[in-house]
Structure 1
Amino acid sequence: MRAEANEVEEAIRGELRLMDPTVRTSRAEARQLLDPEFVEVGASGRRWSYEEILAELPEMPGNSEEGPRYVPSGMTGVALAPGVVHLTYETTLWCRLGEEAGWRMYYHQATPVPSQGD
């Protein structure tokens, strides 16, 4: 069970790194965290490929220490299989590509979340 908990913790660390403005503005750093077959479905419903997200990420919200930042709450995860972790707060799937490559985000779905008053 501890191995599964470690995998979830590693995926959460990767998720949080992708929210860091210094990573968002560095294609090289973001590339280390995204699977080459990465897919995202944005809050607008737009489907983003690996190359599209790497090209646009530096210009997207959350790319500045002074500007709005993503702050997740209630993030949890479950190991679906060895080397595959599903994180929830917004749907995200992480896969391990081996020891040297480490964990990479494979799929992300940006889901609009209503405010608590809605």
Structure 2
Amino acid sequence: RADYEAMMDEDFWEVGASGKRYSREFVLAVLEERRRNPVEERWETRDFHCRALGADTYLLTYTLRQDARLTRRATVWRRAPQGWKIVYHQGTLVQEA
């Protein structure tokens, strides 16, 4: 869990493909559960783009296919003294079979 925590800014939050808002603590708990009980999934990513939003802030966008589910993803990263931190993440549903 320490690895995930180190990557996330203290005020991180996420909007999932469902439209629900998730707190940092909720996302950390989900990631830890996935680490403890891995499930083999086929994920394909493509169309990566990175755009500077400010001196130390960047927007990373990409497309993620999880089986028949297609989403567009956006993650805001900020450079901090401790390294790069995720500030915000969002998934937007494109199509679902």
Q: What residue number does 2:84 align with?
A: 103
SS at match of 1:29: helix
Q: One-letter code of the match for 1:48?
A: Y
What is the distance in 2 between the residues matched to 1:106 and 1:49?
11
Q: Distance in 1 between matches of 2:79 and 2:42?
A: 27
* Sequence identity percentage: 40
Residue 67 of structure 1 pairs with residue 40 of structure 2: yes
Q: C-alpha separation between the residues in 1 aligned to 2:92 and 2:43? A: 13
Aligned residues: 86
Cα offset, 1:70, TM superposition: 3.5
Query: Which residue of 2 is the match for residue 9 of structure 1?
Result: none
Q: TM-score, normalised by structure 2?
A: 0.76
Deviations 1:47-102 (A, max 9, x none): 11111111122235xx73x611443211110111111000112111011112xx10
Q: When you count strand as a share of all residues, which structure comes out higher? A: 2
Q: Secondary structure at the match of 1:45?
A: coil
Segments of structure 1 that go 5 or more residues without pairing to the other structure are 1-26
Question: Structure 2: any 5+ residue segments left out of the alignment?
Answer: 63-72
TM-score (norm 1): 0.63
Counterpart-to-counterpart distance in 2, 1:68 and 1:43:
17
State the superposition RMSD in angstroms: 2.2
Superposition pairs of residues 34-53 of structure 1, within 5 angstroms = 34-53=8-27
